[in-house]
Amino acid sequence: MASSFGVIRAGLLGAALCAGLVAGPQLAKAEDTFKFGGVFTLSGPASFLGLFEEAAVRLAVEQFMKGDCIVEAVPPQPCEGGGLKIGDKVIPIEWTAYDDVSEDKKSIDAVIRLVEQDEARAIWGPRMNSALLSAASILDPQGIISICAICSSPAMTVGRKYGHDITDTGVIEKHGMGEFIHETPERLAEHGIDPALFDGRKKLGFIGRNELYTVHGSIGWQEAVEKGGGRYEYQHDWAVLYPFGTTDFAPHVAKLAEQDPDIVLMDAYIFPDMLAIMNEMKKQGLNYETGEIILLGNDVLMLQIFVDVAKDQGINMSSGYVWGWQEHNPAQDEATLARVEKYVPIYNAKYGDTEVGNSSPFDRGAYDAAIWFLYGVQASGDHTDNDKIVEAWRNLKINGLRGPTNEFFTRPDTGEKTGQLFATEYIIGVADEKVFYTGISYRDELFYGPYVYGDKLPK
Amino acid sequence: MTAFAQQLIYGASYGMNLAVAAAGLALIFGVYRVINLAHGQLIMLGGFVAYVVATQLGTHFFVGFFAAMIVMGLLSIVLENAVFRFLQRRPLTDQLLASLGLYMVLGTTALRIWGDFEARPIAMPGEDWALTAGEIRIDGARLVTIAITLVLFASLYFVVYRTHLGRTMRATAQGEETAALMGIKKRRVAAIVFFLGGALGGAAGAMLGALFNVRPDMGFQPLLMALVIIIFGGMGSIAGSIVAGLILGILYNLTVFYVGSKLGDLVPFLVLLAILMIRPQGLFGLPDRNA
Amino acid sequence: MLEIDDLTLAYGVNRVVRGFNLSVDQGEVCALLGPNGAGKTSILRAISGLMRPLAGQINFEGKSLIRRAPDRIVLDGIAHVPEGRRIFPEMSVLDNLLVGASVHIRERTKTRELIERNYAMFPILKERARQAGGTLSGGEQQQLTIARGLMAQPRLLMVDEPTLGLAPAIINTLADTFRALKSLGLTIIVAEQNAEFALRVADNGTVISGGEVSFSGTVDALRDSERLRRAYLGA
């Protein structure tokens, strides 16, 4: 029995099934360091989504060890250096990160290595949706805390006891856009937006690359339409989901044009995809420059640098018919600005000249999340008990770089804290080639439906 | 009906681009008997050469286009010397593994340099006008690439069937040792074939890049389609590449439009399956080539 | 004209020819006789540079051919017509001939003259000039391979197994062709299993069995040779 057990453990699935049994004694063992690991995409096609996140978390751990945390917990937690302050002991933090080279299999290998060899108590990542699901099936049964600050996936938290998503999700984002298109003319006018913007518009469309993020996004989009009670029409199976590696977008945009939508949500986040789709839309009568359609995008569409690039390619986003959101509050309070002003030079000095690049709102979110988590471990009073850590962390708030009092979402049905960030979406527009914050934001109204909370993700 | 015609036109224009990519692969396989999966990355790198020369150095599209052809032709010769000549007599699996390795090396290198997925456009003649007939439109840029494709195929046909160089290539394809007995230099033919194959890949990359922006992952779908095209069209057949390219491009577009966008990628594989079942030697392939 | 000394050839560790000697004079037709697998083809391949000898010397008109590339050897004046009628089946007859002229393709007049000369010698090839090589009959294909070899304007023509698989009537025509080539002053080596044909066209013959020379001499001496019979019977 013992030998066959060893053979099974060698397999991936075996590891997932059995590690739970083996891990028990390890968790009980008293430890004098806190082992914390991560799986990031540091090379390969998706590295632009991994480099900054790893950089920010590493910086957070280093600063925690130095006692220079910049962001503050609510209620306050000490950050005195040397490690986590647990009772009267100081526990050093041991940080290990692996590169998944943009491959699902490598990221699962790394997760298993972190669990079995490095005995990590908490694991950051992996980010890629498919790997994330496999990782969840390994980590949750063993009670290992998993964290991600850019995963944007319900699979991080829904139905999971130890998963934490410290950003919004594709579903929550679309709920935000859904609130926006249902705004009253009065509220639009109040914020300087044409009150007739959505008049006479009925049919919605959706286009994105075929992946779990957009599939969830399209479901969220349908939920938002249903919530609106019939003012708009949209069904998930209308979604145009083009395959990976698509170069010619003409047939995909043609499929979208055939549906004759009045509003299109473009859920793409890679510049060349977005530009190709937007160029093709203009050619095929889905014109957002003339108001033929309203084009809704995401936080990448609403980056100033994207607006600039699009302008260079003859795309005008300032027509008043292009809207999107940002998760990061564009109108920061003074205390937050002060924190950001302290953080940015440190980050840029460390990474500005490397392939990581200068600071953006994205690495700030990851930094907030990492320090927040370490404060949470401290607050638990026992760094060897993940149940206590999760409980303590989820009840802690953070005054971070993204704004004051970030907190976890509380399930309205059970009153329990979930691992999902209670994220706010800020509606952004473009005028005179500059992105601007409309002053409209949503939070409480976005957290509904089985993809936001529940006991299990629907199939 | 209008929509159908429109999809035929889009599909034909995409298919022509794919045919150029496939012709390079077909030429190398036909003469040299090696399947070069790295061809996909030559397409991608061709796009970047065209981008650097046309956009960054501020020259004309055609300067970038020819630069892409020449640089990729030369790179292809280097790859032949460094890798493929050791693979010619090896089993297919060795060829596939080694060229897949090259694919990854070239891809990773490109990602190191251009992995930020910034938009990299190439200005192209015809991009600001279009022909319209009723509700059907043909973009000028697509017309230009169709014209380029026709010129490329005419030139390729001329080289292969109307010059002595082409005769030596065909002779080598049909009997390498016999060709050597006629005084044909095997290494020279290999260099020429790889140059032409690489140059066609570069041309395809420059055109795809100009139509849809240059990006580090742009070689994958054309490679996939090109592999199916050369099997469909008959391994090594240039005429087969054009016809198969057109058919596959059109099928891809019709599937996306009428069946579902997600299923577009299935088309090449379904076609492949059908060919292997009905006509394993391809459209233009002879059932039994000589040894 | 051609001198071969102590030639040893091997495929891997398997020695197919051992200590082979041969001397061919200008204008001579020399037959290499022996059963299938005796090493005849390997010797021709070594002369034309397709195979590198393990040991020994090959000199053509006083120049060593060892480690010389096949295309240089063609330029030196040796044409090798391989066995099995290896025409280029999907290329036209004319293209096949032009490929044969690869080493001097830029000299258009010369190429044109060589083609005309070939058409005169093999009229059927002129008739079938635009047809794909693969559509010719076996005898026509053999004519084409010889004509293609002649396109390089060789001084030494080596023909491997020309009669293999041909009908007797066609073999007769082929014998006439060899006589005509000899009358033009061409030096010829013909490797044959068909001793009867070889003895009809050759001046001298060398019998090989098991990779070694078992007899060498004039055709007349060969004709009655007990050894020739034994070589074929493997006794």
Same fold, A32-168+331-423 and A171-326+426-446: yes
Out of A82-86, A106-110, B132-136, pick the least confident: B132-136
Domain boundaries, chain A: 32-168+331-423, 171-326+426-446
pLDDT at B279 over 80: no
Q: pLDDT class for B283, splitting at 50, 70, 90?
A: low
Nearest CA in chain A to B14: A248
pLDDT at A388 over 90: yes
Q: Which residue type does C216 have?
A: S
Q: pLDDT class for B233, splitting at 50, 70, 90?
A: confident
Would you list which residues of chain B are within 8 Å, Cβ to Cβ, of chain A?
3, 6-7, 10-11, 14, 17, 108, 111, 115-121, 130, 137, 139, 208, 211-218, 220-222, 224, 252-254, 256-257, 261-262, 264-265
What is the residue-averaged pLDDT of chain C? Answer: 89
- Long-range contacts made by residues A7-13, C-beta under 8 angstroms, separation at least 24? A12/A108, A12/A112
Q: Do B184 and C102 touch (CB under 8 A)?
A: yes
pLDDT at residue B284, as a whole number: 64
Reading the block at residue B60, the tokens are: 């004309």
Q: Looking at residues B1-6, what average pLDDT do you find?
A: 85
Does B73 or A16 have the greater pLDDT score?
B73
Q: Do C71 and B174 touch (CB under 8 A)?
A: no
Does A145 or A50 have the greater pLDDT score?
A145
- Which DSSP string do the residues of C29-59 spell out, in sequence order? EEEEE--TTSSHHHHHHHHTTSS--SEEEEE
pLDDT at B105 over 80: yes
Reading the block at residue A332, the tokens are: 């920061």
Does C8 or A48 have the greater pLDDT score?
C8
pLDDT at residue A30, as a whole number: 46
Does B217 or C79 have the greater pLDDT score?
C79
pLDDT at B148 over 90: yes
Q: Per CATH, the architecture of A32-168+331-423 is what?
A: 3-Layer(aba) Sandwich (3.40)
DSSP-derived pairing of the beta strands A294-296 and A263-266: parallel
pLDDT at residue A45, as a whole number: 65
Q: Do B118 and A243 touch (CB under 8 A)?
A: no
pLDDT at A159 over 70: yes
pLDDT at residue A376, as a whole number: 96
pLDDT at C228 over 80: no
pLDDT at residue A386, as a whole number: 93
Q: pLDDT class for A152, splitting at 50, 70, 90?
A: confident
Of B167, B181, B184, the CB nearest to C80: B181
Domain boundaries, chain B: 16-219
pLDDT at residue A31, as a whole number: 56
- Record: fold of A171-326+426-446: Rossmann fold (3.40.50)
Out of A285-289, A306-310, A376-380, B110-114, pick the least confident: B110-114
* Residues A387-398: b if buried by 16+ CB within 10 A, e if exposed: ebbbebbbebbb
Nearest CA in chain A to B122: A313
DSSP-derived pairing of the beta strands A122-124 and A145-148: parallel
pLDDT at residue A7, as a whole number: 30
Q: How many CB atoms lie within 10 A of CB C220?
A: 12
pLDDT at residue B172, as a whole number: 92
CB A301 within 8 A of CB A266: yes
pLDDT at residue C232, as a whole number: 63
- Assess B176–C contact: CB distance below 8 Å, yes or no: no
Q: Looking at residues A366-388, what average pLDDT do you find?
A: 94
Out of B114-128, B146-160, C201-215, pick the least confident: B114-128
Q: pLDDT class for A8, splitting at 50, 70, 90?
A: very low
Residue C185 CA to its chain's centroid (Å): 15
Which residues in chain B touch residue A212, judged by CB atoms under 8 angstroms apart?
none
Q: pLDDT exceeding 70 applies to what percent of chain A?
A: 93
Nearest CA in chain B to A50: B116
Q: Looking at residues C121-139, what average pLDDT do you find?
A: 93
Q: Is C120 helix (H, G, I), strand (E, B) or coil?
A: helix
Name the β-bridge partners of A410. A417
Of C69, C90, C100, the CB nearest to B182: C100
Spatial strand order in the sheet of A240-242: A240-242, A204-209, A263-266, A294-296, A322-326, A425-431, A434-442
Q: pLDDT class for A272, splitting at 50, 70, 90?
A: confident
pLDDT at residue A29, as a whole number: 45
State residue A241 phi and psi, 5-degree precision.
-115, 100
CB A374 within 8 A of CB A81: no
pLDDT in tens, B31-66: 888 889 999 999 999 999 999 999 999 999 999 999
Q: Which of B56, B217, B221, B261 to mutate to test the interface with A (most CBs of A within 10 A)?
A: B261
Of B168, B175, B286, the CB nearest to C86: B175
pLDDT at residue B178, as a whole number: 92
Q: What angle do CA A384, A389, A391 make, to 5 degrees?
A: 145
CB pairs under 8 A between B and C: 62
State residue C56 phi and psi, 5-degree precision.
105, 175
Q: pLDDT class for C196, splitting at 50, 70, 90?
A: confident
pLDDT at residue A1, as a whole number: 30
Q: Is B193 helix (H, G, I), strand (E, B) or coil?
A: helix
Which residues in chain C touch residue B178, judged by CB atoms under 8 angstroms apart?
82, 86, 88
User: What are the residues whose beta carbons fall under 8 Å from the beta carbon of A161, sequence distance 6 or more?
Assistant: A140, A143, A390
pLDDT at A163 over 90: yes
Q: pLDDT class for B235, splitting at 50, 70, 90?
A: low
pLDDT in tens, C139-154: 899 999 999 999 999 9
Q: Which of A237, A241, A248 to mutate to test the interface with B (most CBs of B within 10 A)?
A: A248
Q: pLDDT exceeding 90 applies to what percent of chain A?
A: 67
CB B174 within 8 A of CB C89: yes
Is the omega angle on the peptide bond into residue A185 within 30 degrees of 0, that is, cis? no
Q: Looking at residues A316-343, what average pLDDT do you find?
A: 91
Of C69, C82, C99, the CB nearest to B168: C99
Q: How far apart (Å, rounded) are the C-alpha atoms in residues C88 and C51?
A: 22
